[in-house]
Amino acid sequence: MRLPALLLLAILSAGGARAADSLPPFIQVPPGYAIEPFATVPKARSLVPVPELGVVFVGQRGPQVHAIVDADRDMRPEKVVRVFDNLNVANGVDWRDGWLYIAEQHRISRWRARSLEELQAAEPEVLFDALPDDPWHGWRYARFGPDGLLYVAVGSPCNVCEVKGMEGTILRLAPPGTPGPRTPEVFARGVRNSVGFDFQPSSGDLYFTDNGADNMGEDVPPDEFNHAPVKGLWFGFPWFGGGTARTDEFQDRPLPAPHNPPAVAFGAHVAALGVSFYRGAMFPAEARGDAFVAQHGSWNRRVPDGYRVARVRFDKKTGKALSWEPFATGFLRPDGARWGRPVDVKELADGSLLVSDDFRGAVYRIIYKGGN
């Protein structure tokens, strides 16, 4: 159910907004940067900063959406508010022009959200209610593109299988009152399970992560960072498990379309999720235009990999992705135990980066201080 408006704003005290006062010494960022606790949010996944409201909305792979409230905009939130607790996998969230958009497992809806009080009293306006309603890879990701359309990722309901309809795609549709498709159109196909994308600031092109297939090997196939500059491209699944690694199930079948390999290949099973191109001014100028990617971490490798925030470097002249490198590390402890699992990365108005962690139920903030 949704909670009454007066109760909504008093759910958690000011102290409840903060994560642990300090992070362990094995969490590392490059010289000049610092990472600090920002808020405690149950099962925190997709992040949507809304500076106009002094709020960061937080989706989860569950029924709830929370709001981190920073009313005085001092980057130290006063409280965390549970906004919804009756949704069908509320992972896909975004905000545009006074509306909160939520892509659930089975539908895409929006709520009027010019304030938290208005949001709590609002009824959902359902934009589309016929997404593939399957829990396997059923956690959607949603983000508005520079074309004003809402993009929504729909995973494949399997490890490796034939997909149909909207399965294994990135869709897009136009909100009411804007030009474009009212029902979702397929923008990209051959996508196994994307849970993160962003649009390159210089070109407006879509870049998205995709998780490679399981059970193909310890180091095969790679997770992907894909470039989709135009509608209609095919990214290989299920003929490819990831990168150029063919699946046993489809290796003898002809390709249905030209294959677009990843712009950058990550390690196998690192579970690359949320993506954010850096647009701000807090970090050094050479960071602008690079992408930061949350790697959730492997569950099916003898030697775990991932558990970090990666940085994808781009050529500043050509705009092409070059390579990736670790950026924020240590979520996998030195003894091999998991301490945290990054999920999403989003930029705040001051140019700092937020990182969500559904393992610890936390959101962290990465800032740049300069020097060493």
- What pLDDT is stored for residue 120 in this prediction? 87
For residue 17, the model assigns a pLDDT of: 63
d(CA 126, CA 297): 34
pLDDT confidence of residue 355 = 98
Which long-range CB contacts under 8 A does 198-203 form with residues at least 24 apart? 198/143, 198/275, 198/276, 198/277, 198/291, 199/143, 199/145, 199/146, 199/277, 200/277, 200/289, 200/314, 200/319, 201/277, 201/279, 201/289, 202/289, 202/319, 203/229, 203/319
Domain boundaries defined on the chain: 5-368
- Asked if CATH classification 3.40.50.620 holds for the domain at 5-368, the reply, yes or no, is no
Handedness of CA 281, 286, 291, 294 (dihedral sign): negative
Q: Cα–Cα distance between 18 and 37 in angstroms, integer?
A: 7
Give the model's pLDDT for residue 10: 36
pLDDT tens by residue, the chain, 372 residues: 444 433 343 333 333 465 556 799 999 999 999 999 999 999 999 999 999 999 999 999 999 999 999 999 999 999 999 999 999 999 999 999 999 999 999 999 999 999 999 998 999 999 999 999 999 999 999 999 999 999 999 999 999 999 999 999 999 999 999 999 999 999 999 999 999 999 999 999 999 999 999 999 999 999 999 999 999 999 999 999 999 999 999 999 999 999 999 999 999 999 999 999 999 999 999 999 999 999 999 998 999 999 999 999 999 999 999 999 999 999 999 888 999 999 999 999 999 999 999 999 999 999 999 865
Q: Would you put residue 64 in left (φ > 0), alpha (ψ -120 to 50) or beta?
A: beta
3-state SS track over the chain:
CCCCHHHHCCCCCHHHHCCCCCCCCCCECCCCEEEEEEEECCCCCCEEEECCCCEEEECCCCCCEEEEECCCCCCCCCEEEEEECCCCCCCEEEEECCEEEEECCCCEEEEECCCHHHHHHCCCEEEECCCCCCCCCCCCEEEECCCCCEEEEECCCCCCCCCCCCCCEEEEECCCCCCCCCCCEEEEECCCCCCCEEECCCCCCEEEEECCCCCCCCCCCEEEEEEECCCCEECCCCCEEECCEECCCCCCCCCCCCECCCCEEEEECCCEEEEEECCCCCCCHHHCCCEEEEECCCCCCCCCCCCEEEEEEECCCCCCEEEEEEEEECCECCCCCECCCEEEEEECCCCCEEEEECCCCEEEEEEECCCC
pLDDT of residue 328: 98
Confidence at residue 21, expressed as pLDDT on a 0 to 100 scale: 63
